[in-house]
Amino acid sequence: MPDAPWTEADSRKAAQIWADYQKHHDVSDRHGQAVGIDPVSGQVWFGESARDIMGQLQGQWTPLYFLRVGFDYYQRKGGRR
Protein backbone atom coordinates (compact mmCIF):
# COMPACT_ATOMS: atom_id res chain seq x y z
CA MET A 1 0.00 0.00 0.00
CA PRO A 2 1.63 3.28 -1.00
CA ASP A 3 1.94 6.17 1.43
CA ALA A 4 -0.28 9.03 0.39
CA PRO A 5 0.00 12.34 2.17
CA TRP A 6 -3.40 13.15 3.68
CA THR A 7 -3.97 16.75 4.63
CA GLU A 8 -6.59 18.65 6.57
CA ALA A 9 -7.62 20.14 3.22
CA ASP A 10 -8.40 16.60 1.98
CA SER A 11 -10.65 16.07 5.00
CA ARG A 12 -12.46 19.37 4.42
CA LYS A 13 -12.89 18.61 0.70
CA ALA A 14 -14.28 15.13 1.44
CA ALA A 15 -16.69 16.54 4.05
CA GLN A 16 -17.91 19.09 1.50
CA ILE A 17 -18.37 16.39 -1.16
CA TRP A 18 -20.42 14.37 1.35
CA ALA A 19 -22.57 17.38 2.28
CA ASP A 20 -23.24 18.10 -1.41
CA TYR A 21 -23.99 14.41 -2.10
CA GLN A 22 -26.63 14.37 0.65
CA LYS A 23 -28.32 17.45 -0.82
CA HIS A 24 -28.93 15.58 -4.08
CA HIS A 25 -29.42 11.98 -2.88
CA ASP A 26 -31.68 10.47 -0.23
CA VAL A 27 -29.42 8.33 1.97
CA SER A 28 -31.94 7.72 4.77
CA ASP A 29 -32.23 4.02 3.84
CA ARG A 30 -28.44 3.68 4.30
CA HIS A 31 -28.35 4.87 7.94
CA GLY A 32 -25.39 3.27 9.74
CA GLN A 33 -23.65 2.06 6.60
CA ALA A 34 -20.06 3.02 5.96
CA VAL A 35 -19.38 5.61 3.29
CA GLY A 36 -16.00 6.22 1.66
CA ILE A 37 -15.36 9.55 -0.04
CA ASP A 38 -12.49 10.24 -2.43
CA PRO A 39 -11.57 13.93 -2.11
CA VAL A 40 -9.72 13.89 -5.45
CA SER A 41 -12.34 12.34 -7.75
CA GLY A 42 -15.42 13.15 -5.65
CA GLN A 43 -16.59 9.55 -5.91
CA VAL A 44 -18.64 8.07 -3.07
CA TRP A 45 -18.85 4.36 -2.14
CA PHE A 46 -21.16 2.61 0.34
CA GLY A 47 -20.68 -0.66 2.19
CA GLU A 48 -21.00 -2.41 5.52
CA SER A 49 -17.47 -1.43 6.56
CA ALA A 50 -14.34 0.37 5.38
CA ARG A 51 -12.89 -3.04 4.49
CA ASP A 52 -15.95 -3.80 2.36
CA ILE A 53 -15.59 -0.48 0.53
CA MET A 54 -11.86 -1.01 -0.08
CA GLY A 55 -12.77 -4.42 -1.54
CA GLN A 56 -15.01 -2.67 -4.05
CA LEU A 57 -11.97 -0.86 -5.47
CA GLN A 58 -10.83 -4.17 -7.02
CA GLY A 59 -7.15 -3.92 -6.13
CA GLN A 60 -6.76 -0.22 -6.81
CA TRP A 61 -5.75 1.71 -3.72
CA THR A 62 -6.80 5.28 -3.07
CA PRO A 63 -7.03 7.13 0.23
CA LEU A 64 -10.64 7.64 1.28
CA TYR A 65 -12.41 9.59 4.01
CA PHE A 66 -14.74 7.26 5.94
CA LEU A 67 -17.92 8.06 7.84
CA ARG A 68 -21.08 6.25 8.88
CA VAL A 69 -24.26 7.50 7.22
CA GLY A 70 -26.14 9.59 9.77
CA PHE A 71 -23.04 10.24 11.89
CA ASP A 72 -20.11 12.64 11.69
CA TYR A 73 -17.60 9.86 12.41
CA TYR A 74 -16.77 6.32 11.32
CA GLN A 75 -16.01 4.74 14.69
CA ARG A 76 -15.61 6.06 18.22
CA LYS A 77 -12.68 4.94 20.35
CA GLY A 78 -12.99 4.16 24.02
CA GLY A 79 -15.71 2.70 26.11
CA ARG A 80 -18.35 3.76 28.54
CA ARG A 81 -17.38 4.43 32.12
CA distances from 15 to 1, 72, 79, 80 (A): 24, 9, 26, 28
- Residue 55: which pLDDT band, with cuts at 50, 70 and 90? very high
CB atoms within 10 A of CB 62: 14
Indicate whether this model's pTM tops 0.75. yes
For the chain, which residues make up each domain, given as ranges? 8-68
CB atoms within 10 A of CB 68: 17
CA distances from 36 to 26, 28, 78, 79, 80 (A): 16, 16, 23, 25, 27
- pLDDT (tens digit per residue) in 23-54: 999 999 999 999 999 999 999 999 999 999 99
Q: Which residue has the higher pLDDT, 17 or 4?
A: 17
